[in-house]
């Protein structure tokens, strides 16, 4: 069952079309990155699914049902920096947040532990580093033990140590089985923490799916021949390739990005006495394309 399925979603602000007919679906237990440069519609996407914004057309489902407040209570969100009280402790701030969200206070020790703030729970918020402030914000999202977490650019503005802490926290949440949906403009971040990605550019979805497939920095050529083991053996010696793999009943040859060439594969096999019965360039790297688009 998908946690979220976005269906032909469009959103305009007057003449600006921030999302154009976007569809994708988020599997349970994934860390799903919404990746795109500034202004590509990421925040608009998250705001729409959290009911802060109304779609112009199209829609979405939560837990495979029409969205309602019952569904949204199972989702912890961090879309904007929350307003914590500077003169109160981290723990006291969480007590207030729990009250506002109508959750019990029982979760507080656990969420403090999860974000590694137990030792500093009594310190005033004003004494926290930026990274600690962000971790407290995430702790606040975790109150009520939501199944799903939605974060908008969770590492923005942090120093490298703070960034590393947030990324490792996300991995822990993922290993606890939470589904995480997060916007990011950093390809590197999505590659490091996400299992899935949807790439947006000027409100349009350019690609979505498994990170390894979508952000692969290799080109791939699929080949077939009668004598498959001989084919594999030959290809292992083919110059300028990255690797050969058998996957899903297909032999796949991987090349460094931008270097796959069907003619040379065909030529090489033929010169070694193998006649191919299948030869297909499966996909060009989207990473290179993403960089091109982002640099525009």
Contacting positions for ligand ADP (CB under 6 A): 13, 16, 18, 36, 38-44
Of 43 and 285, CB closest to ligand ADP: 43
What residue spans of 115-195 are helical by DSSP H? 130-142, 160-175, 187-193
What does DSSP say about strands 196-201 and 31-35: parallel, antiparallel, or unpaired?
Answer: parallel
CB of 40 to ligand ADP, least distance (A): 4
179 touching Mg ion, by CB under 5 A: no
40 touching Mg ion, by CB under 5 A: no
43 touching Mg ion, by CB under 5 A: yes
Segment holding 10, helix H or strand E: strand 2-13
User: Helix or strand or coil: residue 274?
Assistant: coil
Of 270 and 291, CB closest to ligand ADP: 291
Of 17 and 242, CB closest to ligand ADP: 17
Which partner in Mg ion, ligand ADP, none is near 40 (CB below 5 to 8 A by kind)? ligand ADP
Q: Report the candidate in 113, 95, 116, 93 with the shortest Cα–Cα distance to residue 104.
A: 95
Which partner in ligand ADP, Mg ion, none is near 270 (CB below 5 to 8 A by kind)? none
Return the sign of the alpha-carbon dihedral for residues 118, 123, 129, 133. Answer: positive
Do residues 91 and 39 touch, judged by C-beta distance below 8 A?
no
d(CA 105, CA 140): 11
Of 79 and 257, CB closest to ligand ADP: 79
d(CA 221, CA 252): 6
Of 13 and 270, CB closest to ligand ADP: 13
155 touching Mg ion, by CB under 5 A: no
Residue nearest to Mg ion (CB): 43
Chain residues binding Mg ion by CB under 5 A are 42-43
């Amino acid at each position: 069952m998908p946690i979220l399925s976005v269906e032909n979603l469009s959103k305009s602000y007057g003449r600006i079309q921030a999302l154009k007919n976007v569809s994708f679906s988020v599997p349970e237990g994934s860390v799903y990155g919404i990746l795109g440069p500034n202004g590509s519609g990421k925040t608009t996407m998250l705001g729409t699914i959290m009911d802060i914004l109304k779609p112009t057309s199209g829609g979405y489902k939560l837990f495979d049902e029409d969205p309602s407040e019952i569904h949204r209570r199972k989702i912890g969100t961090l879309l904007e920096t929350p307003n914590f009280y500077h003169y109160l402790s981290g723990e006291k701030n969480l007590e207030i947040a729990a009250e506002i969200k109508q959750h019990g206070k029982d979760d507080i020790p656990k969420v403090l532990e999860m974000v590694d703030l137990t030792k500093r729970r009594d310190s005033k918020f004003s004494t926290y580093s930026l990274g600690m402030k962000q971790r407290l914000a995430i702790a606040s999202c975790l109150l009520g033990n939501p199944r799903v977490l939605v974060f908008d650019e969770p590492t923005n503005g942090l120093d490298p140590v703070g960034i590393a802490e947030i990324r490792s926290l996300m991995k822990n949440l993922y290993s606890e089985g939470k589904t995480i949906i997060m916007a990011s403009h950093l390809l590197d971040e999505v590659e490091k923490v996400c299992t899935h990605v949807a790439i947006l550019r000027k409100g349009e979805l350019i690609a979505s799916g498994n990170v390894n497939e979508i952000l692969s920095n290799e080109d791939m050529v699929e080949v077939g021949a009668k004598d498959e083991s001989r084919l594999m053996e030959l290809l292992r010696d083919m110059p300028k390739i990255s690797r050969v793999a058998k996957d899903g009943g297909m032999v796949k040859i991987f090349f460094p990005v931008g270097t796959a060439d069907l003619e040379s594969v065909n030529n090489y096999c033929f010169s070694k006495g193998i006649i191919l019965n299948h030869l297909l360039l499966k996909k060009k790297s989207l990473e290179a394309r993403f960089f091109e688009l982002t640099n525009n």
